[in-house]
Amino acid sequence: MVSRLSAILGAAAISLVAGVASADTFERNIMTGGPSGTYIRIGRDIAALGASCGMNLTVVESAGSLENFVGVRNRRNTQFGIVQSDVLEYLKTFEANDPEVQQAVRGVRIMFPLYNEEVHVLARTDIADLKGLAGRKIAIGKADSGTYLTATLMLDILQVKADERLTINPDEALPKLLSGEIDALFYVAGAPAQLFANTAIDPGKFHLLPIKDTPLLATYTPVTVPAATYSFQQQPVDLVAVKAVLMTYDYDPKKNAYHRDSCRSVSDFSNLILNGLPKLEETGHPKWKSVDLSALPPGWQVGSCVKVGMALDYKPNCMVPAPTVPKAPDANEEYLNLLKQRLKKQ
């Protein structure tokens, strides 16, 4: 798994650096996911929040978590990216002994923890559970995606040997599943996942596999998807979940103009998201209602530009005045105390 993860990081870094183009004006970008995923909808919600303040934010489609993580580190004008918590956990695990991973994580910081993402495994109804995937053809997501890493880890933990693991994204995989070309697909996305909600899926032929395997519960959080979340799923289903995390880079505003403007952008959007949570919960994706800003992944630091935006007297670069939030101290423990104090004042 270490060599596989290093190869993915290396390939993603090469492709992203090669694709950078010089820009005459300052830009802001957030890397998200595929066109039908939850990440891209969350990114659009954040962009809309910025637009209401007069700030542009371009929502960039991507393969998912691994590409987003490397993009925040290496892709110019990309200040934000959404990443799965199990990606962060395994990067941190391998960091000490792998130079490529060390380079990939250098300078990347937490902006905010967000919501749980359910691990969906849509399969033929003759497959009862994950171990029933042995000897089958399954789609596990594109190589730079969080779905790919999660699917690979789960299958390896359970020692499930598929007949074939197709590295294609869920949008490509679903038609193949419905036509009988493959037997199952993995998709890590916050429920309700738009891909399943917008497609006619025959409940007599396909279902979500329950995920209750004890070995997986050491890494993943048990969750239940309520009945009728999807048209083909009339009963509650026990699954597992990972946490979606908004990541950024630890820009040094004293280094140059690009770092200064990027840091200011991170501070601005930190302030807007904190103060705009009620609006996001009301008008954004349903997952905003379950955002937990206190669920910081262990071993990762909050960005210094993020903390600047949380200061009591901080004012975002808006065309209209924006509300302020209390000041964030330096340590993560104090950051959590800040959030508690803020919630008490609401």
- pLDDT for position 106: 87
Tens digits of per-residue pLDDT, 186-241?
Answer: 999 999 998 998 788 999 999 999 999 999 988 889 999 999 999 999 999 999 99
Q: Residue 180: which residues within 8 A CB-CB, separation 6 or more?
A: none
- pLDDT for position 165: 97
With bands split at pLDDT 50, 70 and 90, how would you rate the model's confidence at 25?
low
pLDDT higher than threshold 90 for residue 78? yes
In the beta sheet, which residues pair with residue 207?
123
Tens digits of per-residue pLDDT, 121-164?
Answer: 999 999 999 999 999 999 999 987 889 989 998 999 999 999 99
pLDDT higher than threshold 70 for residue 345? no
CA distances from 147 to 185, 238, 267, 310 (A): 10, 18, 30, 32
User: In whole angstroms, what is the distance from residue 35 CA to residue 283 CA?
Assistant: 20
Q: Residue 332: which residues within 8 A CB-CB, separation 6 or more?
A: 296, 301, 302
User: In whole angstroms, what is the distance from residue 146 CA to residue 80 CA?
Assistant: 16
- pLDDT for position 173: 97
- pLDDT for position 20: 37
Tens digits of per-residue pLDDT, 236-278?
Answer: 999 999 999 999 999 999 999 999 999 999 999 999 999 999 9
Tens digits of per-residue pLDDT, 284-335?
Answer: 999 999 998 888 887 888 999 999 998 878 999 886 554 444 444 444 666 6
Packing angle of the helix pair 65-74, 2-18 (nearest 10 deg): 50
Ordered structural domains, the chain, with CATH: 2-115+244-345 (3.40.190.10), 117-242 (3.40.190.10)
User: In whole angstroms, what is the distance from residue 143 CA to residue 136 CA?
Assistant: 19
Q: Residue 103: which residues within 8 A CB-CB, separation 6 or more?
A: none
User: In whole angstroms, what is the distance from residue 4 CA to residue 91 CA?
Assistant: 12
pLDDT higher than threshold 80 for residue 22? no
Packing angle of the helix pair 38-51, 257-283 (nearest 10 deg): 110
User: In whole angstroms, what is the distance from residue 283 CA to residue 228 CA?
Assistant: 22
With bands split at pLDDT 50, 70 and 90, how would you rate the model's confidence at 12?
very low
End-to-end alpha carbon distance in the chain: 45
